[in-house]
Structure 1
Amino acid sequence: MNTQSLPNLPDTDEPTAVVIDVTPELARVWLRANTRNRNTRERAVTEYARDMVAGHWNLNGEAIKFAYDGSLLDGQHRLRAVIEADATVQMLVVVGLPPEAQETMDTGRKRTTADVMGLRGETNAHTLAAVLRRVWAWDHGDKKFGGSYSATNRECAQLLAERPDIRRSAEIAVRTRQAFPHIPQSALGTAHHLFSRLDAAAAVWFFQRVADGAELPVGHPILALRARVTSERLDSVRMPEARHMAYLIRAWNAVRENRSLDRLVHPPNSAVPDPK
């Protein structure tokens, strides 16, 4: 096999780069040259395909790579995503590489959503990224943040463009955590955004009281929340993030319903409630 046997590729033994519109049909043919590669990660294929369908896949310099003998060295996930998305995507393609070059591919550190937010100059980039990923998961039915797939960097950027108020949720999460360090910023920011959809002013007051616990009567749900997470933190209980979310939502719902709570309980493995 050599690159001459693969359509749309230049026939050369020297490293050569070209930009090609990769169709699903072309991707299928090229994947026949995928004779020695790592196992496919279906989650990555699905995430790439979602970005391609949404039009978020840009020409970014990352290449599909072929050896001079015609074997596919790098790009199987992107090619499979083209097929899954049933989309034509412009890609950089490099041919004529030595087969042993595959051993040094994909050894760099993956760019995270926090990296992307930082490059954009966003304040509280790490917290903002965490909140964006969890709001996206929540809106896609994953209320325990443990689903089989998660938001891509481009999906998080699109979510921020659609809901710029998430920046404010990240800011409040950071401030609340500084005052009351027993709930993760990601859960605080996600909960603030969800609560703000229902009543923005009430959400501001709720998180102020989570932070300081000031002027709350005995039996107030926020006092029960603060006592519960403080107790579990002091006991070194490893709490999944979904339980923090459940505690926040149960306290919020009780406040909204004007109910007293002497003790906050969320049974293990039970569903995370919806805020009201």
Structure 2
Amino acid sequence: MLNGVPLVRAPSGLLIDGVQRLHACVETAIPLRTMLAEQVDSEVFHTIDQHRRRSLAGMLKQRGMPHHLALANLLTRLAQYDECVLSTGTPGTTSWMRLWRVVHGSTALSEALAESLARPASPLPEPIRSMLVAMGRQVEPGVTTRLLDALEQHDSYQPDEPGVVLFDEIERSGEEAASTAGLYRLSALAIKAWNATQQGARPRRLMWQPPGADGKRGEPFPRLMGYRGLDAFDGGVVPRRGEEQCEWSMEEIDPATAARYLSQHPSARPPVTAVVEALALDMRQGRWCDNAQPICFTASGHLADGQHRLLAVIAAQTTLRVPVVRGLADDACASYDMQPRRSAVAAAPEDPDIKFGDQPLATAMANLLWRFERKVPTGTRYKRASATEIREILQQHPRLIELRGYARRMVEHGRSSVMGYGAYVIERENPALGGVFLDALATGTDLVAGHPVLATRAALQRLRREGASQEEQLAALLAGWRRYKVHRVAEDDLRRLRATKR
């Protein structure tokens, strides 16, 4: 599905964005129709994919679907049922694109949800009830109606009516039914009750025991007789490949234009104030990078991608030069933000000095410096530095990156990020004596009883075992450093160090 998100290449030919898509293209042997942005400065690498993952419910809300949260949950449960993972707690693998086509191509699921919500007095929990109604309507709606009526009016039916037997099981389960395992069990019993109602059976009890970890006891999750799965709800709406009439242009978006776009084109998700504030601060302070990621609109006028950037333009009262894509298929909205958020890296991707495993640690140490040394503007809500702030900090404080090896060696004394940032603070204050203190802290050798470094080591290890916060660990490390500086052994250590250098 063409969704406006381009492959991005630097002037050197380096691929900045699109690696996973190209791997998928090779693996599936399916040609990839996409946009391509070339001659993009590799410095923008760290600003790509700094988004907040959106939700299926948000997409349904944007399309005006009633009860979008419940509908998204229903779609997810039915997909898990089709994949036989409903009772395992394992997320399904069905894509949002597929689920969107199902609900977009047929009103059957929306009608089933409305029917379920019209029975608020039913003792069967709504998540199970809506799934049962949707599945039952596909096979034999009258069976579902009888079962739910028997649940609600159990005194008017025979004791061995499946709906009455299911009511008894719900009563027996009590508070346990509200747990995750309890909901799975009730889902299985409800399907068994539906099957019994269809067959005219008169069970005394409804029982289901899931398979154990060894697979030797219990039984598989029951299947509703005659149910054909999500495919039977699909209205046959298939996106037409190669027929999108997209338009691409570079635009200067000022606050007035951003406000107009936001008012005319609703987005699929509520904005996150912290994200907007972080982007706006980058724009105000000149850290924003043109990274080739476009503002995207569908052919029907929906804002598919770019809401936070537009809000940041208004907050920063600045102008943003950005690509704008129009005319995308509505289905493209289901294909955004499905990848993990990219780490804010310390250097351009071609820099061999920054290895893959170092990036998260370098980012975490930079975040600590940002929190404790850079004053956050009053009223801001974001708790972490933006990607551009991280990169700026690591460029201005390269010793942070160099200390990542020490940080890892000290993992038994504290979190690596705390030990790395704390070591940087100590070295920066007094490089010579700080180095002696940090070496003694790491090795603990040749330290006599009563040495202040021994007390610091013990305090840090205790906090580590107790799972103390970053703030507590950092405070203990710096307090130990302060005690060491005024202790007489520090003077002796410094004299020995000077003598060694001579």
User: What's the TM-score bracket when you normalise by the shorter of the two chains?
Assistant: 0.7 to 0.9
- Structure 2 stretches lacking a partner, 5+ long: 1-243, 490-502
Match of 1:246 in 2: 475
Seen in structure 2, the aligned counterparts of structure 1 residues 255 and 242 have a Cα distance that, compared at 3 Å, is same
Tell me how far apart the structure 1 counterparts of residues 426 and 364 of structure 2 sit (CA, whole Å).
17
C-alpha distance after superposition, 1:215-241 (max 9, x if no partner): 2232222211222233454xx422111
| Residue 216 (1) aligns with residue 452 (2) | no
| Preserved contact between residue 118 and residue 125 of structure 1 (Cα < 8 Å) | no
Deviation, structure 1 residue 119: 5.5
Tell me how far apart the structure 2 counterparts of residues 36 and 231 of structure 1 sit (CA, whole Å).
49
Deviation, structure 1 residue 209: 0.9
Tell me how far apart the structure 2 counterparts of residues 69 and 42 of structure 1 sit (CA, whole Å).
27
Match of 2:265 in 1: 34
Deviation, structure 1 residue 187: 0.6
Deviation, structure 1 residue 256: 1.3
For 1:18, what is the secondary structure of its paired residue? strand
Match of 2:466 among 208, 233, 237: 237
| Preserved contact between residue 51 and residue 57 of structure 1 (Cα < 8 Å) | yes
| Preserved contact between residue 187 and residue 241 of structure 1 (Cα < 8 Å) | yes
Deviation, structure 1 residue 46: 0.9
TM-score, normalization by structure 1: 0.79
For 2:325, what is the secondary structure of its paired residue? strand
The residue identity in structure 2 corresponding to 1:150 is: R
Once the two structures are overlaid, the 10-residue window that deviates more, 153-162 or 244-253, is 153-162
- Superposition pairs for residues 161-172 of structure 1, below 5 Å? 161-172=395-406
For 2:420, what is the secondary structure of its paired residue? helix
Tell me how far apart the structure 2 counterparts of residues 149 and 255 of structure 1 sit (CA, whole Å).
32
The residue identity in structure 2 corresponding to 1:242 is: E
| Residue 100 (1) aligns with residue 327 (2) | no
Match of 2:138 in 1: none
- Superposition pairs for residues 119-138 of structure 1, below 5 Å? 120-121=351-352, 122-123=354-355, 124-138=358-372
Match of 2:250 among 19, 24, 35: 19
| Residue 83 (1) aligns with residue 328 (2) | no
| Preserved contact between residue 36 and residue 73 of structure 1 (Cα < 8 Å) | yes
| Preserved contact between residue 452 and residue 487 of structure 2 (Cα < 8 Å) | no
| Preserved contact between residue 293 and residue 323 of structure 2 (Cα < 8 Å) | yes
Seen in structure 2, the aligned counterparts of structure 1 residues 95 and 104 have a Cα distance that, compared at 3 Å, is same
For 2:264, what is the secondary structure of its paired residue? coil
| Residue 69 (1) aligns with residue 303 (2) | no
Deviation, structure 1 residue 59: 2.0
Deviation, structure 1 residue 248: 0.2
For 1:248, what is the secondary structure of its paired residue? helix
Tell me how far apart the structure 1 counterparts of residues 488 and 271 of structure 2 sit (CA, whole Å).
51
Seen in structure 2, the aligned counterparts of structure 1 residues 230 and 148 have a Cα distance that, compared at 3 Å, is same
The count of aligned residue pairs is 239
Q: State, as a whole percentage, how many aligned pairs show the same letter.
A: 26
| Residue 151 (1) aligns with residue 375 (2) | no
For 2:268, what is the secondary structure of its paired residue? coil
Once the two structures are overlaid, the 10-residue window that deviates more, 107-116 or 51-60, is 107-116
Deviation, structure 1 residue 115: 8.0
Tell me how far apart the structure 2 counterparts of residues 205 and 78 of structure 1 sit (CA, whole Å).
48
For 1:39, what is the secondary structure of its paired residue? coil
Looking at CA atoms only, which structure, 1 or 2, has the larger radius of gyration? 2
Match of 2:128 in 1: none
